[in-house]
Structure 1
Amino acid sequence: MQRTRYSARPTGHTPEEAHGAPALVAVAHGSRDPQAVRTVTRLLDRVREMRPGLDVRLGHIELNAPLLPQTLAELSGGSAVLVPLLLGRGYHVKQDLPAFAAAAPAVRTLLAAPLGPHPLLVEALYGRLVEAGWTDGRGNAQGGPGRGDAVVLAAAGSRDPESAADTRRTARLLGERLGGVPVVPAYASAATPTVPVAVRALAARGYHRIAVASYFTAHGRFATAAADAAPGIAAAPLGDHPAMARLLLHRYDQARAGAVPAGEPLLASA
């Protein structure tokens, strides 16, 4: 099967073009795990390397400094594109971010689409699985999936049906990237099945090499619990994978251009 790799080209801007452009404000959820802030910081360093001269900042919804209102206050009189480090549509994207933007009228604000679904996310998921020990076509001389291979896509979970639809779409894309391996979405909260239930269900169906792909941007309680439920391969969170940095810039550029991904709203605050 021929596999198509997606490559956004966010690095085509010169440093001169980046100067004077709206700031890219990456909006992270926040976590009590100290690794989370370190991971996001490394990711934003990659973004700065790809787009020299662009003002790249961080704001958290909760738990960690700087909180998003503080970051926006520092940009008073300027402009920013808020790029959520969130993997699908849900409450934070639909409610929290517009509210934060509205509460900062001194900043001209665009809200970018969430990171997922997108082929670059799939590339990052695939890369993390390979790093953890996944090999394509194990036990299959033709290079296709082994009969006992399956993957659980472990996500945070949301009560929003559009968020669940986004996760299911990512699971389908990852299955295609893996050459037809079954990929089952599972959740740490607010939705079913849970990761342990999904693992047990796959095992009951005869799958004996079950990996857990971590559909989280950084380490935290949910990511740790998902990894602990893996019977074998447990991939690391997406973190500072190069495809993630390219995707942040891709969403930033889309928002500036007014391009709306299919099924994903582009929100704006004057």
Structure 2
Amino acid sequence: MKLVLAFHGTRSPRGIAVCEEIAAAVRSAVDVPVVVGYADVLEPSVGAVVDSPCVVVPVFLAAGYHVRVDIPEQIGGRAGVVVTRPLGVDAVPAVRDRLREAGFRRGDAVVLAAAGSSDERALADVRRAGALLGAVGIGYVATADPRIADVVAGIRGRRVAVASWLLAPGVFHSAVVGCGAEVVAEPVGAHPLVVDALVRRYFEGMAATGGSVRFAS
């Protein structure tokens, strides 16, 4: 059964490259057709690449508007299509690894940097990720407060290590890099643990039953 990786979409060439890298890694891990669709900004849209039967895996770190509304609306009522849970907090182990790669040391104050959302449920996902990382604070670069630079500036007496709750480099990550922290991790990217999580999502979808678009449990 075909696997559709649903990304947000970005105008950043580096961000597009990360999406392609993730898709290539997933293709090497599963013996099924793997295609990419975008919820916004880029073509092809998710709706354009979906046919029946297939499993759609949202490659999103939080279940905001695009995951809960936009992607299902693009798919419509096509039978035989299952939408899984998004990547979400299953990316935390990869984020933790990126933090270590960036130079995290025991005793550093960990701050989680995220894009932000107007959807409280998406912000709850970010808070859950922060708790799993043991973050002392969460800062945003858009749409929500407090801002990442303000959170970093408010920490005294400890070196600050910022974990990037972003999928790919681009404008948002550039803002994180400039937040004033001593350590700033790279975005999640095509980390092997992310690829593993996306493959698990696919098999969740395969195990789901029913003919209409829905979220696999």
Tell me the amino acid that sits aligned with residue 153 of structure 2: R
Structure 1 residue runs without a partner (length 5+): 1-21, 138-145, 176-181, 260-265
1:32 lines up with 2:11 in the alignment: yes
User: How big is each residue's C-alpha offset from its partner over 1:38-82, in whole Å with a ceiling of 9 and x where there is no partner?
Assistant: 11111111112222x21111001122232223322xx4xx31111
Tell me the amino acid that sits aligned with residue 157 of structure 1: G
**SS of residue in 1 equivalent to 2:183:** coil
1:45 lines up with 2:24 in the alignment: yes
1:267 lines up with 2:217 in the alignment: no
Find 2:154's aligned residue among 201, 218, 222.
Answer: 201
For the residues of structure 1 that align with 2:41 and 2:121, how far apart are their CA atoms? 25
**SS of residue in 2 equivalent to 1:117:** helix
Find 2:92's aligned residue among 102, 112, 122.
Answer: 122
Match of 1:109 in 2: 81
1:46-195 matches, within 5 Å, as 46-51=25-30, 53-72=31-50, 75=51, 78-102=52-76, 105=78, 108-118=80-90, 121-135=91-105, 137=106, 146=107, 149-175=108-134, 182-195=135-148
Number of residue-to-residue matches in the alignment = 213
Are the equivalent residues in 2 in contact too, given 1:36–1:218 (CA < 8 A)? yes
**SS of residue in 1 equivalent to 2:116:** coil
Instruction: Give the TM-score, by structure 1 length.
Output: 0.74
For the residues of structure 2 that align with 1:108 and 1:183, how far apart are their CA atoms? 43
Higher Rg: 1
Structure 2 residue runs without a partner (length 5+): none
For the structure 1 residues 257 and 215, does the alpha-carbon distance in structure 2 shift closer, same or farther, using more than 3 Å as the test?
same
1:9-20 matches, within 5 Å, as none
Match of 1:240 in 2: 190
Are the equivalent residues in 2 in contact too, given 1:211–1:230 (CA < 8 A)? no
For the residues of structure 2 that align with 1:122 and 1:27, how far apart are their CA atoms? 19
Instruction: Give the TM-score, by structure 2 length.
Output: 0.91
Q: Percent sequence identity over matched residues?
A: 35
CA apart distance, 1:131: 1.5
CA apart distance, 1:158: 1.1
For the residues of structure 2 that align with 1:241 and 1:210, how far apart are their CA atoms? 23
Are the equivalent residues in 2 in contact too, given 1:174–1:183 (CA < 8 A)? no
For the residues of structure 2 that align with 1:197 and 1:249, how far apart are their CA atoms? 37
Name the Cα RMSD after superposition.
Answer: 2.0
